[in-house]
Structure 1
Amino acid sequence: MATEIENAGSGPGSSITAAEPIWDRPHRPAWMRLLNGVGGGLRRVGVLRPRLDPELLLAAAQRRAGLADWGDDGFQDGLRALVEAFETQGNTHTFGRLFFREYCVAALTNRLRIQEDLNRHPEILDTPIRRPLFITGLPRSGTTFLHRLMCEDPGGRPLLFWETLAPSPSPRYETRLTDPRIRLARKQVGILNALAPRIRAAHLFDADSPEECNNLFAHGFIAGINGFLFDVPQYVEWMNDQNLLEPYRYLRRQLQLLSWRWPGDPWLLKAPAHLYGLDALLAVFPDACIVQIHRDPLQVLPSLCSLASAVRGISSDQVDLRRLGAEFTEAMARGTEHAIDARASADPARFFDVAYPSLLADPVGTVHAVRHHFGYAYDDELEARMRRWLAENPQHKHGVHRYSLEQFGLDSEVVNRRFARYREWTTQRGF
């Protein structure tokens, strides 16, 4: 076997043994190759690379925002863990370091601005969040598809991509179509597609479309998205030991800020990363309604790894596809096990399970079943909007996303053994 995952449990004793690397060839625009060439030359003659000291990142955000009140400073542990893990890998180029620096400074700047809003308008924290809907499941299992269908609800409150990039100031319903942040988000989408063209066929980012909660968690630096975007295995291990209650409390505060002047009922949210925090999610949102989608891990993993390799290639000089496959096999198996454990002590009425093949076969019927289960309204207008969206967004509209287990050194028998507990759990429930 090309890759063997030993000690399949999710505890500290688990380990991954890999054979020879399988190197990816990340996309490199000409200007990036030139920048990296110049940066590499300067480094060889002793000129320092862009510095990533946490204190410098904090200071840069304060200068950009013109603010200094962080609220509590617990997030700084996550910032330091992320920076240390990024530096430890040592496989980034000049642009990659600049990209990572901007990612951190932007998140810190948002945090300062959010805190300023909460300081000036403490009544924001009285904004109700009633029966929010959370969609989760393994990545690449149809969570985006179902989420965007659910967001056709004219009375619901979707989380839009441009809002996640800049939640402050609190958006207004009246200017939701003309907010200047939409234009800035479109520019960022264009840059992302230029840096990693393969992403577009796998996951369409659109400035004014519904998007995952990931960027909101990133403002607190305890965020699974960081382990997806960057090659930071040390940070991922650190994340496994973190209590997620505070990240979910901070998510709630951000949702209150976003709905303060733009209400909707219910919030329509989604992120595969919620698998790791269902217990914390329900502690903070006790009336939450949670949809979990189930898809065969043998189909999920190569698709996920293909997307991750494209994203990590933005900042990394070396993307080992074999190590990526082993890393995500372990991480995703842990996610399913976290969810199984959390659901064992949770109210079953808070959950609705969806099989991926059923979702594809009857997406409108799936939405109807979800809304009926949780008591959300369903009418002819919603159905007509969903059918129009389906007609305008056929599968593979933006290209075919091609991948295979072999690309990432994955063996189906090994993967099935690592997901044995999840397979047994889903089989018992008829998925």
Structure 2
Amino acid sequence: MGAAELSFDDLTAPRLSDVQRQILQHTERRQVDLDVEQMAAEAVAEAGVDDFAADDGFWDRVAAYVGAIESDDGLTQLIRGTLRQRVVRLLRNRLSLTELLKRHPEIESIPIEKPFIVVGMPRSGTTHLVNLLAADPRRRALPYWESQEPLPIPGQGPDVHGVDPRYTRAKNEHDAMMVSAPATAAMHDRFPEAIEEEVEILDLDFAAYVLEWHARVPGWRDFYLGLDQTRHYGYMKKVLQALTFLRGPRTWVLKSPQHCEQLGPLMATFPDATVAFTHRDPVAVIQSTITMMAYSDRLRRRTIEPQWLLDYWADRVERLLRGCVRDRALVPADRSVDIGFHHLNGHELDLLDDLYARAGVELTSKVRRAFQGYLDGNPRGKHGSVRYELQRHFGVSPDELRSQFAFYFERFDVRPEGH
């Protein structure tokens, strides 16, 4: 029996559950203070060290990040509290990284060799593909729990059952999410073992696009787009080197939609990478993204504002895809593949044969069995599917929205989905 289809009749005017109402009533009582000095002091207290390895613009980036959150006046105190925890956590992780690099300078000479990198829009099969590639036991990937706390806190070792406390914290957070916003699993389930995007660790340098997914921050988008990402991708590589040092193997599987508009910095940082591009009808990407955002906003915001979501994310997806079309040639043709979403389901092993051949890596029978095991255990729609109603919830037809993406359809093998 298949999982249920989710349909939202209250997406843009939510009817909160008792649990959701109680959470908001409890958290709205206190104004969350985002003072940078106070957050930095908390990070220092937690990490037990005080060297942020701050480059010239580091505190400017932190100020821009926090300033963007402050400028979004529609946020509930619940999400302001979550974002405050995020800033403290990022600062603490950065402190721990600096300390580790001081103790083990050899980390920075660890090669990140021949990574596989999945590049594509959110909701275009990137998560499916990167989790599948991560089933190859010869490769290292970034599970969600580790993306949130890449470096252990001094003095916090495994518990009596041998479980890392960072994993336990991620699991507790996920369990709470399943209670407060259960439909999240059908849209994008971030359970502790799920493979996460490395832009989460790029955020230790306060230089990624991640904040756009948490709040309405067009100012941060513009600031981020003005940064020299080659430098920041270099920092991200340093974090990957540290993670490799702590727990091998050293051959990575990476993925992020952000790379679509940063192919130059990506290839400068990982020149021997083999890249798998996933392509999907941008309408499917946008409707999936804004439905997920609107659902999450019932706890994050005082009002949903579907028109804002449509306008912002249609523009954002267009920018990402224009970056991909512009810079696709920067990735060598003999070390990259373009995968249409319509080819992904059911043809994965053929696609992986091609990808491994281009990388010059043997696809052994053992690895092939691991891939098949993953596919058998993770059918599409495992957690349920979502019925997307673009016209009803966002007041635009798929064809209207699709018309702004002719440049993308002309360049890649993409099929329109739905009408």
Cα distance in 2 for residues equivalent to 1:363 and 1:24: 39
Do the aligned partners of 1:325 and 1:409 also contact (CA within 8 Å) in 2? no
Q: Which amino acid aligns with 1:54?
A: V
Please, which of 60, 82, 91 is the counterpart of residue 77 of structure 1? Answer: 60
Instruction: Give the alignment of 1:409-420 within 5 angstroms.
Output: 409-420=395-406
Shift of 1:78: 2.5
For the residues of structure 1 that align with 2:402 and 2:64, how far apart are their CA atoms?
32
Cα distance per residue 1:73-116 (max 9 Å; x no partner): 43322222222222222112222221221111111111111111
Residues of 1 paired with 2:414 and 2:148: CA distance? 40
Question: Which residue of structure 2 aligns with residue 63 of structure 1?
Answer: 45
State which drifts further: 412-421 or 216-225.
412-421
Q: 1:343 to 1:395 in 2, by over 3 A?
A: closer
Q: Output the amino acid matched with 1:31.
A: Q
Matched, 1:270 2:261: no
**Contact preservation (8 Å) 2:267, 2:330:** no
CA distance, structure 2, for counterparts of residue 125 and residue 233 of structure 1: 34
> Match for 1:185: what amino acid?
A
1:198 and 2:183 matched: yes
2:274 is matched with which residue: 275, 289, 299?
Answer: 289
Q: Corresponding residue for 1:399?
A: 384
CA contact (8 A) 1:202 1:307 kept: yes
CA contact (8 A) 1:152 1:386 kept: yes
Shift of 1:265: 4.8
Question: Which amino acid in 1 is paired with 2:189?
Answer: L
Please tell me whether the aligned partners of residues 24 and 321 of structure 1 are also in contact (alpha carbons under 8 angstroms). no
Q: Percent identity?
A: 28
Instruction: Provide the residue aligned with 2:6 in structure 1.
Output: none
Answer yes or no: is the 8 Å Cα contact 2:97–2:151 preserved in 1: yes
Residue in structure 2 matched with residue 421 of structure 1 by the alignment: 407
- The residue aligned with 2:345 is 360
Shift of 1:280: 0.2
* 1:53 pairs with one of 29, 35, 41: 35
Partner of 1:373: 358
* CA RMSD across the alignment: 2.4
Q: Write the deviation string for residues 356-393 of structure 1: whole angstroms up to 9, x where unpaired.
A: 11111312222222112222211211221222222222
Distance 1:187 1:261 in 2: 24
DSSP-derived class of the 2:386 partner: coil
Match of 1:96 among 61, 65, 79: 79
CA-CA distance at 1:329 after TM superposition: 0.7
Task: Evaluate the alpha carbon distance shift between residue 378 and residue 165 of structure 1 in structure 2; reply closer, same or farther with a 3 A threshold.
Answer: same
Residues 170, 260 of structure 1: 8 Å contact kept: no
Cα pair 1:156 1:264 within 8 Å, conserved: yes
2:126 and 2:68 mapped to 1: Cα distance? 29
Task: From the superposition, tell whether residues 56 and 313 of structure 1 become closer, same or farther in structure 2 (CA, over 3 Å).
Answer: farther
- Please say if residues 46 and 153 of structure 2, whose CA atoms lie closer than 8 Å, have aligned partners that are also in contact: no
Contact between 1:26 and 1:314, CA under 8 Å: does it hold in 2?
A: no
Aligned length: 396
The answer to whether the 8 Å contact 1:227/1:236 transfers is yes
Is contact 1:156-1:265 (8 Å) kept?
A: yes
Match of 2:117, SS? strand
Contact 1:231 1:316 in 2 (8 A): no
Distance (Å, rounded) in 2 between the aligned partners of 1:86 and 1:203: 23
Aligned pair in 2 of structure 1 residues 34, 97: CA closer, same or farther (>3 Å)? same
TM-score by length of 1: 0.86
Q: How many angstroms apart in 1 are the aligned matches of 2:330 and 2:112?
A: 23
Q: Which of 172, 184, 193 is matched with 1:208 structurally?
A: 193
Give structure 2 stretches of 5+ with no counterpart: 1-10
Following superposition, the deviation at residue 179 of structure 1 comes to 2.9
**1:254 partner letter:** V
User: What TM-score, normalized by structure 2, do the two folds share?
Assistant: 0.88
Deviation of 1:411 after TM superposition, in Å, equals: 3.3
Superposition pairs of residues 18-417 of structure 1, within 5 angstroms: 23-25=12-14, 29-39=20-30, 49-73=31-55, 74-169=57-152, 178-406=163-391, 407-417=393-403
Unaligned regions of 5+ residues in structure 1, if any? 1-21, 40-48
Change (3 A) 1:84 1:369: same
Which stretch shows the higher mean deviation, 356-365 or 278-287? 356-365
Partner-residue secondary structure (3-state), 1:354? strand
